[in-house]
Amino acid sequence: MLDGIPALISISLAARICGLSYRSFLANFITNHRLTPHSSMWTDGTGRMFVWADELAAALGRPITLAEVQAADQKLQRKRDYMKRYRRRHAIV
């Protein structure tokens, strides 16, 4: 569980905060240049895209609350747990 609002929010988490799917978020915010994605190659080396929390709040026109971030992260946790079980079951590293 997140203790605070992170400065960089992953695209998946940002989509959940907005109530959109990953692809809808990309189409509405990234492709239309409402937000500028930042690669994580300099943070964790995975190449995932992130957006700044303050830019997301400005694009939404409202502040992002900790409760919203925690609820969105909890929804994503189910997917993470499923993928972890899938990798174990199929011996995928």
Tens of each residue's pLDDT in the chain, 93 residues: 788 899 989 999 999 999 999 999 999 998 888 888 876 655 566 667 889 999 999 999 999 999 999 999 999 998 889 989 999 999 876
Beta bridge partners of 72: none
- Residue in this structure with the two tokens 């900790």, named with its chain if needed: 66
Q: What share of the chain is helix, strand, coil (3-state, %, to 5)?
A: 55, 10, 35
- Global confidence as pTM: 0.81
By the 8 A CB rule, do 82 and 92 touch?
A: no
